[in-house]
Amino acid sequence: MAGLLAGCATTLPPPREVIPPAARRGIELLTERWREFKDLRTLADVEIQRGRDRQQMRAVVLARAPASVRFEALSPMGQPLLIATIHDGRLTAYDATRNEAFVGDATPQVTARVLGLPFEPDDLVAVLAGRAIPPADVRTAQWLPADDSGPSLELAGPVNRRRIWLDPDTGVVRQFELIGGRTDARVKYQRDAAGVMSGFNLTAMMAYVTASVRYQNATFGAVIDPSLFTFEPPQDAKIQAIK
């Protein structure tokens, strides 16, 4: 599979500013919505375009707060061709077609190469869950005027800027843009008539990746066994480091 399915410049953090009450309420809503999420189990139809390489597959996706993921790309017969897990900041990916495993830190660059999704582990879980996480250290925050996607909250942290389109009353996220640090990406969430997450579209500028993910039979709060988020490759597998 190409890319397993296929030095950033240092800048000073923005100066800290007083956060207006309306923006603080938006941050609280995002945090509340994130804390509501426990885990997700779903089948997914995945389409990834990376440069000229296009791939389509069906996959099993598991996600567990705060930062654990399991992804299995399936053959037409339903057998796993690729198993990738993220847990405790580490990624393990096993390509069953070659009996090769790749292990390394779960950086945005690594998750982009393996899954086509260039995010830190907690942001990746939030994307899969249809959420958006505020930076741990919010330096500036402001509501921006509504555009075609509605009102948005712009949050600047020490290493990146996040623009989050959300319902200011419920905290439901429509769209999420992450710029700076090691990621430039925009995610547009798909929801059914009841507002339940049903997939997303991704554009990742720096990684030259676009992706479409559509869920089938998604279960939120599935109480997933934590052991599923770790994976030991077969003893005879060739193991390589990935960066």
**Three-state secondary structure of 115-141:** HCCCCCHHHHHHHHHCCCCCCCCCCEE
Across residues 57-80, what is the average pLDDT? 96
Which residues lie below 8 Å from residue 225, measured CB to CB, with a gap of 6+?
none
pLDDT number for residue 27:
97
Whether residue 2 lies inside any domain: the answer is no
Whether residue 54 lies inside any domain: the answer is yes
Whole-angstrom distance, CA of residue 210 vs CA of residue 116: 8
Segments forming the whole domain that contains residue 53:
17-218
- Sorting pLDDT into bands at 50, 70 and 90, what band is 11? low
Whether residue 86 lies inside any domain: the answer is yes
Across residues 187-205, what is the average pLDDT? 91
Whether residue 35 lies inside any domain: the answer is yes
Whether residue 5 lies inside any domain: the answer is no
**222 exposure class (CB count in 10 Å sphere: 0-12, 13-18, 19+):** middle
Contact criterion met (CB below 8 Å) for 226 and 64:
yes
Whose CA is closest to 30, among 149, 131, 157, 136? 131
pLDDT number for residue 12:
66
CATH number at residue 24: 2.50.20.10
- Report DSSP state, residue 28: H
Residues in the chain: 243
pLDDT number for residue 7:
41
- Sorting pLDDT into bands at 50, 70 and 90, what band is 207? low
Of the candidate ranges 80-84, 115-119, 211-215, the one whose mean pLDDT is the lowest? 115-119
pLDDT tens digit string along 120-142?
Answer: 999 999 999 999 999 989 999 99
Residue 67, pLDDT > 60, answer: yes
Whether residue 73 lies inside any domain: the answer is yes
Across residues 177-192, what is the average pLDDT? 88
Burial 126-148 (b: 16+ CB within 10 A, else e): bbbbbbbbbbeebbbbeeeeeee
Whether residue 170 lies inside any domain: the answer is yes
Q: Residue 197 is encoded by which pair of tokens?
A: 């997450």
pLDDT number for residue 228:
97
Residue 30, pLDDT > 50, answer: yes
Contact criterion met (CB below 8 Å) for 149 and 165:
yes
State residue 111 phi and psi, 5-degree precision: -65, -30
Whole-angstrom distance, CA of residue 215 vs CA of residue 116: 16
Whether residue 239 lies inside any domain: the answer is no
Q: What does pTM read for this prediction?
A: 0.90
Distance, first Cα to last Cα, the chain: 17
Across residues 57-63, what is the average pLDDT? 97
Tell which wins on pLDDT, 195 or 189.
Answer: 189
Tell which wins on pLDDT, 9 or 122.
Answer: 122
Residue 38, pLDDT > 60, answer: yes
Tell me the three state secondary structure of residue 79: coil
| Count of domains observed in the chain | 1
